[in-house]
Structure 1
Amino acid sequence: MGTIDVHTHFVPNAWPDLATEVGPGVWPSLRVDSEREATIMLGSAEFRRVDDRCWDAEARLADMDADGVELQVVSPTPVFFSYGAAADEAVKIARIFNDLALEVCAPAPDRFVPFAQVPLQDPDAACEEASRAIASGHVGVEIGNHVGDRDLDDEGIVTFLQHCAAESIPVFVHPWDMPGSPRLDRWMARWLAGMPAETHLSIIALILGGVFDRVPDSLRIAFAHGGGSFAFWLGRFENAWHQRPDLIGVSERPPSAYLDRFGVDSVVFDPVALRLLVDTLGAGRVMVGSDYPYPLGERPVGAVVDRADFLTPDEAEAIRRGNALRFLGR
């Protein structure tokens, strides 16, 4: 009866040469630096240093046991999404990494919950790969929050979300591919400012783009990193919807009417921020997440919930596991 962590990532300790398997391109590869350390490369450029917690089940389980985590949702690292590739190339990449994800999770099927990636740039291919992945052992899908300039209200992405609703596939939305600039390339500003804004923008797109008006409420969808800056700026959003209906009042109902249509994880680090999430969305819409095993994640997992003395025991239990069980369809 431990915590369920809905936001963790994996990196395989090896994968086929994508230039050979897929075709020419600047694809991710892995440079092995030692028995326990490696670096994800994009072409000849370093992308991220990783360690064996990304692929080694024993290392992950040891940390889970130390933090009281019963189940861990294991999702792709977004650099693998490959949304800028041709659809047929992205299909091949998704299948490679989805099959490898099952291998990473295989040593502890009662502890690891694999989520798949899909070639979201092609709705039909994305639906097909989601169904294939679920049939092969995945439990849900992780998608990026946009495909180029197409946000979550894009017609093709709506088709994919409708497919997930029809097949009862949970969807975890992770920000990725934050734009850079001289101002954003300092101090990890793309992660500190751009990432919360990206997530906020995509929740706005689901509301103002009419997605929640068109997709059944059976869709189980959740956003990483506490939904970004959305909760803090809901009041501004609501005011704008009422004050400028000519530009913003395009959804059937005001923004606050859709708060029961999505969930968020708890990766906000501060009980004050968690309180805002709970006050805004309700304790039934927040789930423990950690962003494990990356350095900007939370350890011990669920520490922010432990420090949130405003939560009732029932609310804390819902955030720790009950809401995640519902999201996962268990």
Structure 2
Amino acid sequence: MENYQQLKEWRDQKIKSVSWDHHELNKFHDKLMRRTVQIALKEVESEWGSPPTHFAFFVMGSAGRSEQSVWSDQDHGIVYDGENPLFHDYFLKVGQEITKGFAVTGYEKCDGNVMASNPYWCKSTIEWEKQILAWLDEADWESLRYFSTFFDARVLVGKEDLLQRVKQVAFLKLAEVPSLYQRLYENVGFIKKGLGIFGQLLPKEKGEDAGNINIKQTILFPYVNALRLLALLEKIPESSTLKRFQRLPEEYASIKKYQTDFLKLLNYRLYFQKETVNYEKVHLLHVKSMSANEKESLKELIKNGRKLFKETKKMIDQRCLR
């Protein structure tokens, strides 16, 4: 496959065969994204020559955590070695070409412009280290949201150690100012309500999405956000929620038991979204189409996600008050 259009056709042919299994689907996404990046690099090299220094192209969001559904949007960035302004021009061009390629091969552009085509997300290692410290020093809602987005990054193509070097700066800063853990918790502390006082599911009541629950905001995020906070607390650099569960020390036994729920949730999501035809609807779950047993299972996942999030808060408070 030599161009983006051929990759898109390959995606369209193959995606359904892996859409039933979380791990297989995300392996397929990785393969598709890597091939897209390789084509983009060749495009830039044909005009600008070979990369002038070491770099890493990283993905964030659901791609960074290896939690993509059938449809996914773009969240990515670039980190490169060295401070030459010409390096920045080169890698910004790479970021622009990758963004274009991803759009063709099936990944919608990020509404918030969190992409390597944006200079804000294409920086040298030194600039990224300064950015991490600035976000944590500012510690306002937007800065901490950007920081959390970045911490879910993983390298897709390039030098892994460039990204890890930047993440280490975050661990050192948090160790110096442990109250930041509480600020990070507050930043993601709002959980969209999924259950009523009588234990009933609460789908959206009005608008074109009436009758649906947003599975990402209501059910997935409590698990994702809790494990990100614990990964920061325990200096775990992995971006995958499942790997974060696995890397937690043994004293987190009460937390690790929720891993089974999270994996069930990932596959549950795929089961109900197998007929979704675009990114707009991929996070919506139509309650009336579910059986009584499916609803009960969903309620259990919602309850356990909230329990996990509360337990995480206790652990953060204990650590910060030491």
TM-score range, shorter chain: 0.3 to 0.5
Q: Which of structures 1 and 2 has the bigger CA Rg?
A: 2
| TM-score using structure 2 length | 0.35
Name the one with the larger helix percent: 2
Structure with the larger RCO, 1 or 2 (CA within 8 Å, 6+ apart): 2
TM-score by length of 1: 0.35
